[in-house]
Every structure is written in structure tokens, then in C-alpha cells.
């Protein structure tokens, strides 16, 4: 992403002033602690940074033992716990060794040797403290560098104050000062995080893409989960998204919080990581390279008038009574009907019945689909009866489901 800001100089000053403060404070601490403790601390910072991500599974396990259940928080704080634990071990070892060396020069060496050692200890400690301060400074910036990539993209006018504004300003300051070039080499976040951030930012700033997003096959499979179906049909949440409510306010919703703590949902979401580039391309162009050979996947809206027309052409001998019976059945049971086909080979037909706003969505039939060559076969179960059908594409935006003597016509949502 390319950021623009009106006060680039002041933003750069924030970064450099912060750097000078941290380097000065840590160097002074190093002067008084001595080079042994500072050297161990520097080694601990480097080793902790290297081990934090590889050993993050252990950190997540320990946090779960102590009651943390949110999968997202576990992903974030697992590496943090490992980093702190390894660093503390180095500091404890440094303190122990420093006490032993101090004892030797205090009680077993001459005053002259002790004075030379103390001078060397302080001066080298000060020098290593500068290196320590530089590492601390970069580590301090990493959370702003990583999470700011997302928050800057989803920020809106309603988020002009508070912690989110501070994160955004720090992220912009990092880029303005060119510090992002250095942090890129230390970035612990996986590639999927940035790809997901781009997708979230794209949809957040282009609400018209929300419907297209809900049509992406991999997401349809996830959204079909009961937990997410409840959110999809929540009018309050839909209204919040439509008016571009702040991200923090949306995350505070009880249903969102419950979903964030659902481990099985997160496992499905993690599988989406391999599709994020294709998803972004799909949002931008409307074409998915991964699923172009299965254009029938996704959601389709029933077109009752077209269904009646196709069915009558298929059965030219259809009487007016049969026509009216089919029409009444469709208007009663399948008004606002939606056909869903997922990547897992499942399908369902749901409807709000007569279409009343207070009428609950009902599952009319469920089943499976299978593809062999260019032929797609559907097996539907309705009222404990199984029925075979065929799925075909009349056009890129129209799907036909032929079952018995009826051709059900579905259109791709706008």
C-alpha cells in the first residue's frame, strides 16, 4: 500500500526522537550494569527473536493451560511468551555470572585490578548498551509495523482518536522514516497476514465488493457453517458493515467475540490462507483462476419466472393445472430461494418461504454434488426422499438444476 500524510517531517521526528531516548536510556543502564549483563542481554534478545516463532506452539500451549482460549490472541501472544521466557533465562544467567565475577574482583584481586575492571566493565557496558538499545527499539516497532499494515487500511473517520489512531500514526511514521526497510528483515508475520490484510482493506473501503466476497467458493464453504450463518443473517451486523462502522466496534459485538474463540472455525479460516492471492484477484476482476473450471460453485438465487418458462418448454404437454401447481409450490416454499454449492461437494436449497421479513430461513433440501468430466450430478434429499438431478450452466450468470420434469433456474447475485 502507498500511504500519504501531511506532516512527514514530524512523523519522522517521532521515530528518531524515540530512537535517541531508547538508545540513551539503555546505554546508561548498560554503563551501570556492566558488559557481562549487557552482553548476555544482547545475546538473549537475538536468540529470543530467532526462537520466538519456531517455539510459538509451546507458548500457545502454556497460555491455553492458563485459560486463554481465543485462537487469534494465542497466535499473537504465543511467540511473545517464548520471547520473554528465553530473554529472562539469559538475564538470570547474566546476573548469576556477574555476581561471581564481581565477587572475584572484590575479594580476590588487588584494588588496582578491581578499578581497571570496573572501568572496563562500565565503558564496554555503555557501548554494548547502545547495541542493546538499537535492538530494543526495532523490536518495539515491530507490532506497529505488522498490525499497522492492517489498521491503516481499515481506518475510517470514526477512528480518529484512541489507540487505533496511535497505531496508524506509528505505522506511517515508520514508513516515512524509511525504518520499514530495516524491519522488513525482522518481520515475524507470515505472508498470509499481509494478503488477508489487503483483502480486508479492499472490502472495507469498497462495500460494493461485499456481495462478490460472499460468492468466493472457499468462503462459501466457511460461511455455510452454522456459527457463521447466524452472523450472516444478523441485520444489526449487516447494518454496521454497510455504514462502515469502525473495526473496533464490530469486534466488540458479542457474536463476533464468540466466533473469535471458536477453534474449529479458525482451523477452516487458516485453510483459506492458500487462496488469498486468488481471492484478491477475484475481488478485483470477478474471475477466480483457481475455480474457473467449476463456475457453478457459490450461491445462486432462484428465478421463479424463468423456472416456470424453462419447465414448460421442457414439458410441452404441461397442463395449466400442473403449471399453476408448480407456480404455487414455488411461491409458497421457494420464494427468495438460494442454491448453495460448496467446495466440499455439498449443496443446499434454502428459502425464506413467502419472503416475509420476519420469516425464518428454512432448509428446503440438502444433498451432494459430484463432477465427472463436464457432467455435474446432484443428489438432493427432501422430505426423506432422495432425488437425482443435473447441474448445467446456461450462461456465466445462470445455472440450471434439472430434477424430474422441472428445470430450476438460478441467477448469480449482482
298-411 placed in CATH 2.40.128: yes
Q: How far is the CA of 178 from the CAs of 4, 8, 174, 217, in angstroms?
A: 14, 11, 6, 39
**How many helices and strands (H and E) does the chain possess?**
18, 8
pLDDT per 10-residue tile (average), the chain, 414 residues: 46 83 94 93 92 91 86 84 94 93 90 91 94 92 90 66 77 85 87 89 86 87 77 74 71 76 77 87 89 89 86 74 80 82 89 60 85 86 82 88 84 82
CA-wise closest residue to 26 among 113, 157, 114, 127? 127
Q: Helix H segments across 261-402?
A: 263-271, 276-285, 304-314, 320-333
Enumerate the domain spans of the chain.
8-183, 191-285, 298-411
> What would the grid cell of residue 293 be?
473450471
Q: Is the pTM of this model over 0.75?
A: no
CA-wise closest residue to 145 among 128, 169, 114? 169
pLDDT of residue 220: 87
339 and 299 Cβ atoms separated by less than 8 Å: yes
Provide the 3-class DSSP secondary structure of residue 51.
helix
SS (H, E, C) 59-117: HHHHHHHCCCCCHHHHHHHHHHHHHHHHHHHHHHHHHHHHHHHHHHHHHCCCHHHHHHH
Amino acid at each position: 500500500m502507498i500511504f500519504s500524510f501531511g506532516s512527514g517531517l514530524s512523523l519522522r521526528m517521532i521515530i528518531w526522537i524515540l530512537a535517541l531516548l531508547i538508545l540513551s536510556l539503555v546505554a546508561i543502564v548498560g554503563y551501570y550494569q556492566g558488559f557481562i549483563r549487557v552482553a548476555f542481554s544482547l545475546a538473549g534478545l537475538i536468540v529470543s527473536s530467532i526462537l520466538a516463532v519456531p517455539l510459538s506452539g509451546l507458548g500457545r500451549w502454556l497460555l491455553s493451560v492458563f485459560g486463554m482460549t481465543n485462537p487469534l490472541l494465542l497466535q499473537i501472544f504465543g511467540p511473545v511468551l517464548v520471547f520473554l521466557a528465553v530473554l529472562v533465562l539469559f538475564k538470570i544467567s547474566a546476573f548469576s555470572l556477574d555476581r561471581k565475577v564481581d565477587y572475584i574482583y572484590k575479594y580476590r584481586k588487588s584494588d588496582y585490578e578491581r578499578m581497571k575492571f570496573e572501568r572496563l566493565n562500565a565503558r564496554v557496558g555503555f557501548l554494548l548498551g547502545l547495541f542493546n538499545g538499537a535492538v530494543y527499539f526495532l523490536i518495539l516497532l515491530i507490532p506497529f509495523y505488522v498490525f499497522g499494515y492492517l489498521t491503516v487500511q481499515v481506518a475510517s473517520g470514526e477512528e480518529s482518536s484512541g489507540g487505533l489512531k496511535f497505531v496508524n500514526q506509528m505505522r506511517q511514521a515508520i514508513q516515512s522514516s524509511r525504518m520499514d526497510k530495516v524491519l522488513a528483515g525482522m518481520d515475524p508475520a507470515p505472508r498470509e497476514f499481509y494478503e488477508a490484510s489487503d483483502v480486508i482493506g479492499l472490502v472495507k473501503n469498497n462495500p460494493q465488493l461485499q456481495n462478490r466476497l460472499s460468492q468466493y467458493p472457499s468462503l462459501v464453504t466457511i460461511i455455510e457453517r452454522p456459527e457463521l450463518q447466524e452472523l450472516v443473517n444478523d441485520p444489526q451486523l449487516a447494518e454496521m458493515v454497510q455504514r462502515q462502522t469502525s473495526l473496533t466496534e464490530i469486534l466488540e459485538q458479542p457474536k463476533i467475540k464468540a466466533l473469535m474463540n471458536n477453534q474449529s472455525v479458525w482451523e477452516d479460516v487458516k485453510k483459506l490462507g492458500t487462496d488469498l492471492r486468488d481471492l484478491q484477484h477475484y475481488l478485483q476482476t470477478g474471475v477466480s483462476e483457481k475455480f474457473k473450471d467449476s463456475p457453478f460453485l457459490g450461491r445462486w438465487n432462484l428465478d421463479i419466472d424463468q423456472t416456470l418458462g424453462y419447465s414448460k418448454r421442457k414439458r410441452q404437454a404441461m397442463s395449466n393445472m400442473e403449471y399453476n401447481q408448480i407456480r404455487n409450490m414455488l411461491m409458497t416454499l421457494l420464494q427468495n430461494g438460494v442454491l448453495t454449492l460448496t467446495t466440499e461437494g455439498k449443496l443446499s436449497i434454502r428459502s425464506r418461504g413467502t419472503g416475509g421479513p420476519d420469516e425464518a430461513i428454512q432448509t428446503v433440501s440438502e444433498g451432494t454434488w459430484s463432477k465427472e468430466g463436464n457432467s455435474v450430478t446432484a443428489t438432493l434429499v427432501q422430505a426423506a426422499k432422495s432425488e437425482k438431478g443435473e447441474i448445467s450452466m446456461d450462461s456465466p450468470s445462470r445455472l440450471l438444476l434439472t430434477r424430474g420434469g422441472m428445470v430450476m433456474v438460478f441467477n448469480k447475485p449482482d
